[in-house]
Structure 1
Amino acid sequence: MAEPGRSSLPLPDYDHLPIGGLESRVRSLSAEEVEELIAYERTHADRLPVTELLTARLEQLHSGAEPTSGDPSALRPEQAQGRVGSHVSPATSPQPFSPPPHGTPDQRGKPKGDRF
């Protein structure tokens, strides 16, 4: 089997999928497509949890499991459109506080009044 290229993989952005997302998305692939991912994984990152996951899925397919419906290129939750960034605003920020009495790296602590 020839080494598959990144652009010809059955899952778009395969290299950037978290393992949890990969586990659910390989269920829609055929045995040939899973074999292609195994070959790619072994020649590139060769991550043990990923190869174990893909090998287990391939064994399921060879044992009679059928690919489930679903679109492997469907929008992933981590790509969802919407608000980006922090939910903190000036209205929800805490009030500023004084530095601790022992000081901070940029502000030395002050001695007590009766100590020299």
Structure 2
Amino acid sequence: MTDPARNALPLPDYDHLPIGGLESRIRSLSSEEVEELLAYERSHADRVPAVDLLSARLEQLAPGAEPTTGDPGALRPEQHGSRAGSPVSPATSSPPFSPPPHGTPDQRGKPKGNRT
């Protein structure tokens, strides 16, 4: 079930943002929007790093700091197109290997020595 308050947040994907992405994305929010996110965070997950980050941003905005554009290249959960690590291909896969000497469920083991 989705929370109706979640759909009204200034950052619709807020619940899925990593802290690094959140830090960059909240730069473009006004103090009222940051307060809204802080209230939502405290009533839901109450993650200490997120609360600290939002509180620090409110302190920056209190003396009159203006919201900035933020980092458009910040980590966004909707950008799943790139994967970490190297792609697997026949050229990069490991060489084939023989089954262990004790066998596998579909292949019996080989006897040791000259047992008959």
Calculate the TM-score normalised by the size of structure 2: 0.72
Counterpart residue number, 1:16: 16
Which consecutive residues of structure 2, in runs of 5 or more, have no partner in the other structure? none
How far does residue 11 in structure 1 lie from its aligned partner after superposition?
A: 0.6
The Cα of 1:112 is off from its aligned counterpart by: 4.0
Deviation at 1:91, TM superposition (A): 3.2
State the shift of 1:32 in Å: 0.5
1:49-88: CA deviation from partner (whole Å, max 9, x where unpaired) = 111110011011113322112488x885543374669721
CA–CA distance in structure 2, aligned partners of residues 97 and 89 of structure 1:
17
> When the two structures are aligned, how many residues end up with a matched partner?
111
Q: Residue in 1 aligned with 2:92?
A: 92
**In 1, Cα distance between equivalents of 2:55 and 2:14:** 16
Shift in Å at residue 102 of structure 1?
6.5
- Provide the residue aligned with 2:49 in structure 1: 49
Work out whether residues 28 and 69 of structure 2, in 8 Å CA contact, stay in contact via their aligned partners in 1: yes
Q: How well do the aligned residues superpose, as a CA RMSD in angstroms? A: 3.3
1:64 — aligned with what? 64
Q: Which residue of 1 aligns with 2:79?
A: 80
Indicate the SS of the match to 1:50: helix
TM-score (norm 1): 0.72
CA spacing shift, 1:81–1:23, aligned 2, 3 Å: closer
Give the percent of matched residue pairs that are identical in Structure 1 and Structure 2. Answer: 72
Question: Aligned letter for 2:6?
Answer: R
Q: Which residue of 1 aligns with 2:25?
A: 25
Q: Mark the runs of 5 or more structure 1 residues left unpaired by the alignment.
A: none
Query: Helix, strand or coil for the counterpart of 1:42?
Result: helix
**Deviation string, structure 1 residues 22-43 (Cα, Å, up to 9, x no partner):** 0111111111000000111111
